[in-house]
Amino acid sequence: MQINSERLADIFVTLCEIDSPSRKEGRVCAYLKEFFATRTPGATLFEDNSNSVTGSDCGNLIVRFEGELDKEPVFLNAHMDTVAPGEGVKVQREGDIFKSHGETVLGGDDKSGIAILCETILSLQEKRTPYRPVEFIFTTCEEIGLLGAKNLESSLVQSSMGVALDSVGTDEIIIGAPAASRIFVEIQGVSAHAGLHPEDGVNAIQVASQCLIKLPLGRIDVESTANIGLIAGGTATNIIPDHVSLKGEIRSHCEKKLRRLTKNFHDIFQGVIDQCNAGFASRNLSADFLFQEENEYPAMKLTPQDQIVQLLLQASEAESRKLDLIVAGGGSDANIFNRYHGLTTVIVGTGMEKVHTTDERIRLADMVRQSNLVYSLLSF
């Protein structure tokens, strides 16, 4: 057996129980520095200065192994941060399954990816298996906009192709992912006493609701989705609310379509505001809005012929496995590596389930399965 499954389990649990919410990844980074410095001969470590931009308490961590095989180098990526609630994690193990105690996420997104890389390099060195040159890239602030990847000092990376271990499932290679834009809308109405003089007010929440009815949300087409996920407004039940904010996102595998959908969102807000103001005119009242768009990440699209895809397929054949090539709906560091840094990157899963919830879980067998895949990728 290539992988020490119980050692992998111990590494995973240790990582999960180290708090690392976005911008507070420093303790995990310190753990990894000590881990590689003391347990993996030949490791060279670099921490970049991305934290000067991201606001994290550490930079991205790059760990390089020269390897013995005269083959093109690859990199492997996982992120160090977790979503909330992710502090005070206590891992519960039930046979082959790891989950949290129920009040926090488990942190398998993406501690499972980190643990897989730690165990794989230990196994390769322990068994004296020759392997190709490889770099591990551990990023910060992935969960809050891929900030670590966006500010990666890519000059520190020698590899030109790699794999991000950051998805569900175990039997796919993700070669396509959408572009995404965040949407921020502020609607301004007019406050008034809700009981004494409601006619003197413009209810910003009511205006927002009329906008929401007209917005295309959910699955728009096979390439595109949209969502409004946060709404906040109002101060008291007896005051006409004069302000409401909405936050959402639009995703599409076609960037031209993403721009069209974003413009359509703006035009819907504008049209509703104009219509409402026509009705308010007799009372000399009006509403207004501010619409802002932020490009979160670009689309990612590889082909079956890309070298890293072919290497993964060959590695899976060595493991007597068949991996499907798919297009997924989420963004990851891979989107940024491909577009911003010229690093050809695909995504594979680690077996994580129900991510970003307190019901998150993962099977040890799936982490072992993916560790064996990485082992083969590096050593065949």
- Condensed to tens digits (0 to 9), the pLDDT of residues 274-300 reads 999 999 999 999 999 999 999 999 999
Residues 350 and 313 in one domain: yes
Q: Please give the Cα distance from 273 to 229 (Å, whole number).
A: 21
Residues 206 and 270 in one domain: yes
Residues 57 and 39 in one domain: yes
Q: Please give the Cα distance from 198 to 193 (Å, whole number).
A: 6
Q: Please give the Cα distance from 371 to 134 (Å, whole number).
A: 15
Q: Please give the Cα distance from 356 to 107 (Å, whole number).
A: 8
Angle between helices 364-379 and 108-126 (to 10 degrees): 50
Residues 335 and 286 in one domain: no
Residues 30 and 146 in one domain: yes
How many CB atoms sit inside 10 A of residue 29's CB?
A: 22
How many CB atoms sit inside 10 A of residue 333's CB?
A: 28
Residues 163 and 196 in one domain: no
pLDDT of res. 2: 86
Coil vs helix vs strand at 318: helix
Residues forming the active site? 81, 142
Residues 137 and 190 in one domain: no
Residues 185 and 208 in one domain: yes
Residues 209 and 337 in one domain: no
Tokens 């794999």 belong to residue? 163
39-96 pLDDT, tens digit each: 999 999 999 999 999 999 999 999 999 999 999 999 999 999 999 999 999 999 999 9
Coil vs helix vs strand at 240: coil
Q: Please give the Cα distance from 64 to 76 (Å, whole number).
A: 10
Residues 102 and 210 in one domain: no
Q: Tokens standing for 374?
A: 């990485």
Residues 144 and 267 in one domain: no
Q: Please return the burial class of 98, using the count of CB atoms within 10 Å of its CB with bins 0-12, 13-18 and 19+.
A: buried
- Final residue belonging to a domain, choices 297, 323, 338: 297
pLDDT of res. 330: 87
pLDDT of res. 374: 98
Residues 93 and 146 in one domain: yes
pLDDT of res. 102: 87
The total number of structural domains in the chain stands at 2
CATH of the domain at 111: 3.40.630.10
- Final residue belonging to a domain, choices 240, 268, 297: 297
pLDDT of res. 176: 96
Asked if 12 and 98 touch (Cβ cutoff 8 Å), the reply is yes
pLDDT of res. 1: 63
The backbone torsions φ and ψ at residue 270, rounded to the nearest 5 degrees and listed phi first, read -60, -45
Q: Label the pairing between strands 179-188 and 243-252.
A: antiparallel
CATH of the domain at 184: 3.30.70.360
Q: For the chain, list residues with pLDDT below 70.
A: 1
- Final residue belonging to a domain, choices 255, 273, 297: 297
Range of the domain at 234: 179-297
Cβ partners under 8 Å of residue 243, min gap 6: 186, 187, 188, 189, 204, 233
Q: Please give the Cα distance from 274 to 54 (Å, whole number).
A: 39
Q: Which residue from 114, 240, 109 is spatially nearest to 169, judged by alpha carbons?
A: 109
